[in-house]
Chains A and B, each alone.
Chain A
Amino acid sequence: MDTAAVVSSKPGNPTSMVPASLRGIFPVLVALPVLLLLEWLLSDSPFATYLLSIMGVNVILAVSLNIVNGMTGQFSIGHAGFMAVGAYLSGVTSLALKDVAISFLPVAVSDQVFLLVALLVGGIAAATAGFLVGLPSLRLRGDYLAIVTLGFGEIIRVAVTNTEAFGRALGLSGIPQTSSVAMVGFWVFLVVLVARRIAGSSHGRSLWAIREDEVAAEAMGVNTTGYKVRAFVISSFFAGVAGALFAHFVPIINPGSFTFVKSMEIVVMVVLGGLGSTTGAIVAAVFLTLLPEGLRSLFTTFGTGGSLAQQVDQIRMPVYGLMLVVLMLSRPQGLLGTRELWEVIPRWIPRRRKGM
Chain B
Amino acid sequence: MAQLLQHLINGIAAGTIYALVALGYTMVYGVLKLINFAHGDVMMVGVYMGYSTAFLLGRQTQSTPWGVLVIFLVAMAGCALMGFLIERFAYRPLRDKPRLTALITAIGISFALSYGFQLDIGFLPGSAPRAFPQIIKPAQWFTVGDPEFPDVVLWNWQVISLMLAVGLMVGLQYLVYRTRFGRAMRAVSFDHRVAALMGIPTDRVISLTFMIGSALAAGAGLLYAIKDTSVSPLMGLYVGLKAFVAAVIGGIGNVPGAMVGGLLLGLVEEFVVGYAASTWRDAVAFGFLILVLLVRPGGLFGRVAAEKV
Contacts and interface: CB of A to CB of B under 8 A. Distances in A.
B290 A314 contact: no
- The residue in B104, B120, B282 that gathers the most chain A C-beta atoms within 10 A of its C-beta is B104
B111 A328 contact: no
B110 interface: yes
A152 interface: yes
Contacts of B297: 139-140, 144
B133 interface: no
Interface in B258-309: 277, 279-280, 282-283, 286-287, 289-290, 293-294, 297, 307-309
A271 B104 CA distance: 9
B286 A151 contact: yes
15 contacts: A144-B297, A146-B35, A147-B289, A152-B290, A155-B286, A314-B120, A318-B111, A318-B119, A321-B111, A321-B112, A321-B115, A323-B108, A324-B105, A328-B104, A328-B105
Interface of B: 35, 90, 93-94, 97-105, 107-113, 115-116, 118-120, 127, 237, 241, 244-245, 248, 277, 279-280, 282-283, 286-287, 289-290, 293-294, 297, 307-309
A356 interface: no
Given A75-B100, A140-B297, A318-B116, A324 B111 contact: yes
> Dominant SS at the B interface?
helix
Interface in A302-345: 311, 314-315, 317-318, 320-325, 328-329, 332
Contact of A162 (B35, B94, B277, B287): B277
A142 interface: yes
A213 B309 contact: yes
Q: Which 5 A-B pairs have the closest CB atoms?
A: A324-B108, A321-B111, A151-B286, A321-B112, A317-B115
A158 interface: yes
A329 B111 contact: no
A154 B283 contact: yes
A147 B309 contact: no
B105 A215 contact: no
A79 B104 CA distance: 15
B119 A151 contact: no
A337 to B, nearest CB: 13
A136 B35 contact: no
> Dominant SS at the A interface?
helix
A329 B92 CA distance: 10
A328 B115 contact: no
Given A329-B90, A329-B93, A146 B103 contact: yes
Given A139-B294, A152-B286, A75 B103 contact: yes
B105 A325 contact: yes
A102 B90 CA distance: 59
A2 interface: no
A332 B277 contact: no
Contacts of A148: 289-290, 293
Given A142-B100, A322-B112, 14 more contacts: A139-B294, A147-B244, A152-B290, A162-B277, A214-B307, A215-B309, A216-B309, A267-B104, A314-B127, A315-B119, A318-B116, A328-B104, A329-B90, A332-B98
